Structure 1
Amino acid sequence: MSLVPLIMAGGTGSRLWPLSRQLNPKQFRSLTGKRTMFQETLARLEGLEDADPIVICNEEHRFIVAEQLRQGPVESAAILLEPVGRNTAPAIALGALHAMTHGDDPVLMVMAADHRIADVEAFHAAIHTARPLAEAGELVTFGVVPTHAETGYGYIQRGEAVDGGGGYAVARFIEKPDAATAEAWLAGGEHYWNSGMFMFRAGRYLEELERLQPDMVAACRAALAEGERDMDFVRLARESFTTCPAESVDYAVMEHTRSVVVPLDAGWSDIGSWSALWEVNPKDADGNAVHGDVLTDASRNSLVHAEHRMVATLGIDDLVIVETKDAVLVAHKDRVQEVKRLVERLREAGRCEHLDHREVYRPWGCYDSIDAGERFQVKRITVKPGERLSVQMHHHRAEHWVVVSGTARVTNGDRSYLVSENESTFIPVGHIHSLENPGKIPLELVEVQSGSYLGEDDIVRLDDQYGRVPTTVEPSV
């Protein structure tokens, strides 16, 4: 019976703003090493998986997932695109249905893309313990052996040991406790943190979900059957999936059926807040965890994360300071769970800093919004060799392109021509245009937009090699 990893890569990680954004959330960022959290999740599968992983992500993250898969360490994976978020129970159902497409009933190793596991060997050992239980038909969850009295996690209370060794019947799932209760559970040794990782046969999970949530299974079946393949992606049918109830796997299944917990003592963290990141990162003699160009003086027990400029601190204690190109967060470590309130205020104010970074990644490369004014906007654009932006036009703005390095092939109305380093071209309002890098090195150019309206909804997309739907409201490049 094969083992298929099922990686849930949805979510926005709003408590890690401003580094985590809606269109580029924490699982696709490098937080504890050179690789992103998603890539670290893939890397720890080495030596375990019997088949390509299945990745479930939001439709808007599809190109980030594809690019990070291309960079390794996993060569290929099935990518299922959710048109809307419906929580973990439907996501796992989709993965189970996809895994059984050819009549197989593999064991699914369900994990989130944004967890940190320091001891990979211990993680593998827990999986080897759980696998025969799952093959025998058990619904297995992994309970993290607590290292401190944590009030931010749900808990699992274990019951009697099950036959086969290493697992325990789940006595109950418990919501986040108060501090006194968490202290008592830590001392007792019978309670584990709920990791949100599971192992079971695909058919066994669907059997229980069908019994408990038949409407959910029906919606997932329809969304998958009516969906379509788009390049490397499986695009679910929006209308069918939108009717699917939204529920977590705990509430939909695990709390209402027999399940088994396997202890996991592997340095696990969900990096759910800036204080959690401070806890797992190396610290200097004063207890400071720093990243980037940081200078500290008389500062203690703080996290300072600098992305693009030097950050200096003097006389601070227990603070979190995070600098990005377009936003800076300063918060007390005791209040970082409330950062998502700031994100909600940004959303309510109609701002864009919660959506994406100033530097935005696309399948063809990336762009950085350098400057903007009332009637102009300046971007630095990088196009990878052999890639091309969509064929498009704008009703209200003109664009002036200056090539900094590389060579551009430009479509401008009915003309097609090359623009080399230190040369420029002008795209008038209303002209159909496109930009391509025909060379062997990255194409770097500066784009100056000018006009009466510079909003990103002034776009008519006519053709696109990446399968993006024409006239979709997307950034113009």
Structure 2
Amino acid sequence: MLYPVILAGGSGSRLWPLSRQLRPKQFLPLTGVGTMLQETLKRLSPIEHHAPLLICNEEHRFLVAEQLRQQGINDARILLEPEGRNTAPAIALAALQAMEVEPEALLLVLAADHLIRDVAKFHVSVGHARRLAEQGQLVTFGVVPTHAETGYGYIQRGEGQGEFGFQVKRFVEKPDAITAEEYLAVGGYYWNSGMFLFSAKRYLEELECFQPAMVKACRAALGGASEDLDFTRLDAEAFKACPAESVDYAVMERTERVSVVPLDAGWSDIGSWSALWEVSERDAQGNACHGDVMLYDSHNLLVHADHRLVATVGVEDLVVVETKDSVLVAHKNRVQEVKQIVERLKAEGRSEQSNHREVYRPWGVYDSIDNGERYQVKRITVKPGAKLSVQMHHHRAEHWVVVSGTAKVTIGDKTSLISENESTYIPIGQVHSLENPGVITLELIEVQSGSYLGEDDIVRLKDQYGRC
């Protein structure tokens, strides 16, 4: 049986300000109706497969769980990494878990943030790769290049293996522009997609040969794992002792049993704003627009407006991205340097690096509408049946006004129902909780006042999501 393994880590910093540390690109709807993760899961549909296994950072666990729920996927396993150790250990964990169920399991390893336009061709390539994997080969998918790209590593093919694929002659690092042109002219080179199909058993055997310490650490991390709601938490100490290395360096570039299957299916890793422009629908002037956008005498733009009108006059080759709290303007040829802005934000401790103004929680979302000295205003949305933690604050009081729905509010030992246009007050230091007992979404305005209003002034006493 085929076991889909979805690698859902990563920060997507080159797509800031839309992609941020706590809501990176794999959880955003960049190219379709669903998010990148949801589109990845959707394209598995006609393939007969076992329940998927997702590997993600602990801070993204509720995003993953909610997006699975929206897709109607209830049997997936979500493995939480206490910290990222690159792709080789992540795949080793998946292989160990799959072999607990089926010793001859085949792993289809996919990134959560890739675009594939022609899903039918993708399925054909998966079928070819499966045949080679059943013969003991470790298979990588090589994307048929459409231009001389310098942002990807390349795979040079060797001898053919029937109609299914080729032996890998060599892996090569990201080339300069001249070398990339040579690869395209000569032929027989593919972009390294970072997607794989192989036997779990074969992968572990090869990894044991080249990186025995990695396999040992992964076994220990799983051996000490604990179950928490829908998640499997690894033993943090054991996993942090694991060497950090990519699957390419750890195994694929060292094993003799590696094959490449060509993939000509409109693939992109959406690694930058210019890459998103290339795969987006464009008007006659080459402009790709999202949201409320008005253009005059403008050419070859990517304009993404989230919350207000964005207008341009007499410009070309720009990326303009507007969110509730940030605006990016960059030349299309220099968008790789956006990560320099992200690094500066991080160094200065600014929240725009990690959070959007809207912050998602397992119970819903809050939007920081306004703030100033000693006050902050939030719009809080609570899903039906959800409940915030039982908590208190040392430095702030809160006023709640219900906008829609019904709130079940507990303050101290008193519980009451608060309906639309009604309000309540929580003094400093008072234990309290908020719940939506109804079947419609609860929305309320929260006004905080006090000497310190940071999120770390939340003292959780009880929480159904395991965050205490």
CA–CA separation in structure 2 for the residues paired with 1:467 and 1:104? 33
Question: Structure 2: which 5+ residue stretches go unaligned?
Answer: none
Aligned twin of 1:261: 260
Aligned twin of 2:347: 348
- 1:10 is paired with a residue whose SS is coil
RMSD: 0.8
CA–CA separation in structure 1 for the residues paired with 2:408 and 2:206? 56
Aligned twin of 2:29: 30
Aligned twin of 1:464: 463
The one-letter amino acid paired with 1:282 is E
Aligned twin of 1:280: 279
CA–CA separation in structure 2 for the residues paired with 1:20 and 1:74? 24
Which runs of at least 4 in structure 1 moved beyond 6 Å after TM superposition? none
The one-letter amino acid paired with 1:442 is T
- 2:379 is paired with a residue whose SS is strand
The answer to whether 1:76 aligns with 2:75 is yes
Aligned twin of 1:475: none
1:49 Cα deviation after fit: 3.5
Aligned twin of 1:86: 85
CA–CA separation in structure 2 for the residues paired with 1:334 and 1:356? 26
Q: Answer yes or no: is the 8 Å Cα contact 2:115–2:269 preserved in 1.
A: yes
1:453 Cα deviation after fit: 0.9
- 2:454 is paired with a residue whose SS is coil
CA–CA separation in structure 2 for the residues paired with 1:76 and 1:292? 35
Q: Answer yes or no: is the 8 Å Cα contact 1:396–1:458 preserved in 2.
A: yes
For 1:208-247, list aligned pairs within 5 A. Answer: 208-247=206-245
1:413 Cα deviation after fit: 1.0
- 2:424 is paired with a residue whose SS is strand
1:188 Cα deviation after fit: 1.4
Q: Answer yes or no: is the 8 Å Cα contact 1:384–1:442 preserved in 2.
A: yes
CA–CA separation in structure 1 for the residues paired with 2:168 and 2:72? 35
CA–CA separation in structure 2 for the residues paired with 1:352 and 1:200? 41
Instruction: Tell me the alpha carbon deviations over residues 399-428 of structure 1, each in whole angstroms, 9 at most, x when there is no partner.
Output: 110111111110101111111111110000
CA–CA separation in structure 2 for the residues paired with 1:17 and 1:292? 17
The 1:110–1:298 alpha-carbon spacing in structure 2 relative to 1, beyond 3 Å, is: same
Aligned twin of 2:433: 434
- 1:143 is paired with a residue whose SS is strand
Aligned twin of 1:150: 149
Instruction: Tell me the alpha carbon deviations over residues 324-374 of structure 1, each in whole angstroms, 9 at most, x when there is no partner.
Output: 001000000010011111000000011010101111111111100001111
CA–CA separation in structure 2 for the residues paired with 1:84 and 1:119? 34
Instruction: Tell me the alpha carbon deviations over residues 50-109 of structure 1, each in whole angstroms, 9 at most, x when there is no partner.
Output: 210110011110000000001115443111011100100011001111111135221100
CA–CA separation in structure 2 for the residues paired with 1:260 and 1:430? 62
Q: Answer yes or no: is the 8 Å Cα contact 1:43–1:73 preserved in 2.
A: no
Q: Answer yes or no: is the 8 Å Cα contact 1:42–1:73 preserved in 2.
A: no
Q: Answer yes or no: is the 8 Å Cα contact 1:304–1:320 preserved in 2.
A: yes
1:17 Cα deviation after fit: 0.3
CA–CA separation in structure 1 for the residues paired with 2:234 and 2:78? 11
The one-letter amino acid paired with 1:219 is A
1:227 Cα deviation after fit: 0.8
CA–CA separation in structure 2 for the residues paired with 1:238 and 1:370? 37
1:165 Cα deviation after fit: 2.6
Equivalent in 143, 168, 172 of residue 166 of structure 2: 168
1:7 Cα deviation after fit: 0.5
1:299 Cα deviation after fit: 0.4
The one-letter amino acid paired with 1:166 is F
Q: Answer yes or no: is the 8 Å Cα contact 1:43–1:74 preserved in 2.
A: no
- 2:3 is paired with a residue whose SS is strand
Aligned twin of 2:45: 46
- 1:329 is paired with a residue whose SS is strand
CA–CA separation in structure 2 for the residues paired with 1:105 and 1:70? 29
Instruction: Tell me the alpha carbon deviations over residues 437-476 of structure 1, each in whole angstroms, 9 at most, x when there is no partner.
Output: 11111111000010011111112111111122x2xxxxxx
- 1:256 is paired with a residue whose SS is coil
- 2:324 is paired with a residue whose SS is coil
The one-letter amino acid paired with 1:384 is K
Question: Structure 1: which 5+ residue stretches go unaligned?
Answer: 471-477
CA–CA separation in structure 2 for the residues paired with 1:372 and 1:216? 47
For 1:75-474, list aligned pairs within 5 A. Answer: 75-162=74-161, 164-258=162-256, 259-468=258-467, 470=468
1:145 Cα deviation after fit: 0.3
CA–CA separation in structure 2 for the residues paired with 1:374 and 1:54? 46
Q: Answer yes or no: is the 8 Å Cα contact 1:379–1:448 preserved in 2.
A: yes
CA–CA separation in structure 2 for the residues paired with 1:440 and 1:129? 47
**Identical-residue share of aligned pairs (%):** 71
- 1:253 is paired with a residue whose SS is helix
